[in-house]
Amino acid sequence: MLIEWLRMKSARNSDCKVLLVSASSRKALAIAHSIRSILGCKVIGLFTTRTHPYIPSRIFNKRLITKSKRGTHEWVLEVAYVGRKYRVDLLLPVDFIDVVTLSKYRDVLENLGLHVAVAKYDKVLMASNKSRLSELLRDVCRVPKTFKPMEQHIITANLGPPIVVKGVSDASRPKYFNSLDYVLRYISKASDVIIQEFFPGIGRGYFTVACNGEPLIEFTHQRIIEYDPIGGASLMSYGPVLDPKLYMIGREVVRKLKWVGPLMVETRWNPESGEYVVLEINPKFWGSIDLPVKLNYQLPAVLVAAFIHGKQYARRLAKELIVKSGTHSWVLDGIRYLGKDLTTWLRLFRQALSNVFLSDLAPIDPARTVAQIVKGLSKLPKERKDFTVSLRDDIIKVRMYVREAMNRLRGLRLQDIALILDLDGTLVKLGVDWSTVKDEGIRRGYLTRGESISSCLYRLWLSNHEAYMEFSKIVEEYERKSLNNYEVLISKDIINNLVSLHNRGLNICVATKQTVNIAREVVKDLLTNTNEILIIGRDSGYGPLKIDMFRACRKVIGCREALVIDDSFTATVNAFREGFITIRVVRNSYEMIKTLRIGMVALPPNNALRLVIK
């Protein structure tokens, strides 16, 4: 049966021609490879410049250069001319400008006998309209609070820092602010922007190609390294992410839009609570399309099959694919990191060496690889300059925040201040084997594969307190095993200074996701008089969320000001938003840059506590 199907597929597609518009995109190689390898179609790449590094690639059957500016009437006419000249079966738009332009002229192109793999123009505009996202997804998923510049009085009343200001077009170029005053000054001079709350989570995406609101094939991923540490396209990502919540959100978007063609739903996932927010919907192929294609989720081929041979044919093709999971590294595209963070690029390089197939290195396509390296290296001076300017601005924001924090603390007695410390990742590294804990939770039926341990605990806290305590005890067994060989992250002189400040009246509270008993075992080894140090853990009655623990510390102590030192990005952002003075503990440059981007202090453990002591 399978052999018969493959023969039929090969016979039906051997003369197929697809025009890729435009091939001057990082997505183009994976799209072309999928169409050629699975359907046997010939792929014509239409490029916007003669110097693009993908032109030497062997993946295209033919390469053409446009003379017109992309998105103009002249460009559409040129696309139509090329399509008719080479008798292509399908025009396949790649980037957003290609999608929006060809959808606008879809009827004209189809009257010329050219089929276009794109949704209707009004649907494309609806999906890509960031300012109306909350209206579209009202009963599906939370979206960040979003405002327009003229709504300054509403912004002041409803939005607290960190705050994002971004453009309304596909290239949004977001800017991040740690003060509402800075935002109001910036938007008074800006146009065509929206103002959003910042959501501190992990980037996850839902991807599909759909027909009349029905997904034909789906994929999900989680970003590990991005173009900029605070956000952007993937430079390392993992997939698929088997979280039913993410699939549900994506499918609802497809159904509501009655979508046709490729679609990405970009989300941020809070690993502490399991909550998702939808940042935007992209009605196009996405930058990380290499990952699903190399894992045999052949979304481009399925899309082309649907438009050329029909939905039933495409659905059957999708079911025949034998898929897998994995991590992809864009080490050549990531050359930009050589200009700003060498350690991050080396991480990309090591990942690529561990599995060359799951990277953008291509020994079988040497001309393209060399051209891409040369192009990347030529851009390094600009990358370094842009990064230096951006980092300088970030450091200015952080210095102003530190100055403001010092003013808030000036004149206060030690008794008026609470120092709230995280445990694991800040004071010590427990070294718990969390993957084994997760497997145990799944085996016993507490945890689903799509959840983190923290989000599972939060779900149980809200829904079943007895199960929450049972699972907490299971986790505690593994935490206790780690007490024999945990690593202390702070130096002896820091410990002595903390003890001295505590003896002089400083209120110290340890707020931890561990249980109180585990935390007390560690704290008594580090500090003296542990009975006088307040410890709030996940079993203290306040739940497993850090922000609730921070609030409890402040309330129990009754202090005028509270400083939070924690290694969790989510926890420190939430504390920052609620008016705590915050310092995030980081142990690598990528996480430091990410935190500085939004104007928060980020330091290694010793430096963070040394700053507080000074």
Query: What value does the mean pLDDT take over residues 106-110?
Result: 94
User: How many Cβ atoms from other residues are within 10 Å of residue 63's Cβ?
Assistant: 18
Sign of torsion over alpha carbons 414, 405, 164, 380? negative
Q: At 546, which amino acid appears?
A: K
Both structure tokens of 522: 């560690």
Between CA 307 and CA 327 the distance in angstroms is 30
How are beta strands 581-585 and 601-603 bridged, if at all? parallel
Output the pLDDT for position 528.
67
Output the pLDDT for position 241.
94
Output the pLDDT for position 249.
96
Output the pLDDT for position 489.
93
User: How many Cβ atoms from other residues are within 10 Å of residue 488's Cβ?
Assistant: 15
Looking at the predicted structure, is the pLDDT value of residue 136 above 70? yes
Output the pLDDT for position 138.
86
Percent over 70 (pLDDT), the chain = 96
Between CA 539 and CA 472 the distance in angstroms is 8
Q: What is the DSSP string of 429-466?
A: E----HHHHHHHHHHTTS--TT--HHHHHHHHHHH-HH
Between CA 44 and CA 94 the distance in angstroms is 13
> pLDDT per residue over 403-452, tens digit each?
999 999 988 999 999 999 999 999 999 989 999 999 999 999 999 888 89
Select from 1, 15, 79, 71 the least CA-distant residue to 45.
Answer: 79
The rounded mean pLDDT for the chain is: 91
Between CA 215 and CA 264 the distance in angstroms is 12
CA distances (Å), origin 495, targets 324, 408, 501, 527, 606: 48, 25, 10, 7, 10
Select from 298, 299, 267, 297 the least CA-distant residue to 281.
Answer: 267
Hunting for tokens 């094939």 — which residue is that?
217
Query: What value does the mean pLDDT take over residues 84-100?
Result: 95
Looking at the predicted structure, is the pLDDT value of residue 501 above 70? yes
Between CA 42 and CA 363 the distance in angstroms is 22
Q: Say which residue, 283 or 129, is predicted with more confidence.
A: 283
Output the pLDDT for position 6.
44
pTM of the model: 0.90
User: How many Cβ atoms from other residues are within 10 Å of residue 509's Cβ?
Assistant: 23
Looking at the predicted structure, is the pLDDT value of residue 157 above 90? no
Q: Say which residue, 475 or 167, is predicted with more confidence.
A: 475
Q: Residue 123 burial (CB < 10 Å; 0-12/13-18/19+)?
A: middle
Query: What value does the mean pLDDT take over residues 181-208?
Result: 88
> pLDDT per residue over 252-270, tens digit each?
999 999 999 999 999 999 9
Query: What value does the mean pLDDT take over residues 140-160?
Result: 84
> pLDDT per residue over 348-379, tens digit each?
999 999 999 999 998 888 888 999 999 999 99
Between CA 279 and CA 1 the distance in angstroms is 44
Between CA 22 and CA 98 the distance in angstroms is 7
> pLDDT per residue over 550-600, tens digit each?
999 999 999 899 999 999 999 999 999 999 999 999 999 999 999 999 999
Residue pair 66/22 in contact by the 8 Å Cβ criterion: yes
Residue pair 401/178 in contact by the 8 Å Cβ criterion: yes
Confidence band for 530, pLDDT divided at 50, 70 and 90: low
Q: Say which residue, 126 or 155, is predicted with more confidence.
A: 126
